[in-house]
């Protein structure tokens, strides 16, 4: 169904019919429940803190279990926050936190899988483009540079790619 057809259909409904449908959707679908919970009680800081705890647990578990270091946990949270249209500054902070955590993990326990470094680089590209797109360069530029410095310090095979990407953005405002 197209958006236009949906609008026409909704216009034919009476107010109480529309309310009933929205309540049914709320009961049936978790994403709708999540959306309305966020709209009426955003608590963005709390959402970010919970996501940061999840990411930390992935890399540095408090129990004796082995770190899973799944980068997908943070990616899923980033996607979720994007659909909720979270404050861009908070989302950028979380994106950079994710990269910094992965780098701290590598500094402590050297990772050998090339996929890890490529994934962190892709996260870096996504975060730096997000920072620029949302006019947050003045706030997060120093952190992006520290990430580059850390990649070089840890001698990542793709450290030059981090430098090239950041170089593309250095002249942009």
45 pLDDT band, cuts 50/70/90, is: confident
Domain residues of the chain, as ranges?
Answer: 1-41, 43-170
How does the average pLDDT of the chain come out, rounded? Answer: 90
How do the residues of the chain divide into helix, strand and coil, expressed in percent and rounded to 5? 75, 0, 25
What's the farthest any 2 CA atoms get from each other in the chain?
Answer: 64
pLDDT at 103: 96
Number of H helices, E strands in the chain: 9, 0
Whole-model pTM: value is 0.80
d(CA 71, CA 100): 12
Is the pLDDT reported for residue 173 higher than 70? no
Query: Would you say 170 and 164 are in contact if contact means Cβ atoms under 8 Å apart?
Result: no
d(CA 83, CA 97): 19
d(CA 70, CA 78): 14
């Amino acid at each position: 169904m197209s958006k236009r057809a949906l609008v026409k259909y909704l216009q034919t409904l009476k107010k109480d019919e529309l309310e009933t449908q929205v309540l049914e959707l709320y009961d049936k679908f978790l994403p709708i429940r999540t959306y309305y919970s966020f709209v009426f009680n955003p608590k963005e800081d709390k959402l970010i803190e919970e996501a940061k705890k999840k990411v930390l647990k992935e890399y540095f578990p408090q129990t004796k279990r082995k770190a899973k270091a799944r980068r997908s946990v943070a990616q899923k949270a980033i996607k979720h926050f994007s659909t909720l249209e979270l404050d861009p500054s908070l989302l950028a902070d979380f994106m950079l936190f994710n990269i910094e955590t992965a780098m701290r993990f590598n500094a402590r326990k050297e990772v050998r899988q090339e996929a890890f470094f490529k994934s962190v680089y892709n996260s870096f590209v996504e975060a730096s483009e997000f920072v620029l797109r949302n006019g947050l360069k003045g706030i997060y530029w120093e952190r992006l540079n520290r990430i580059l410095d850390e990649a070089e310090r840890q001698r990542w095979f793709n450290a030059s790619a981090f430098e090239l990407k950041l170089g593309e953005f250095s002249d942009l405002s």
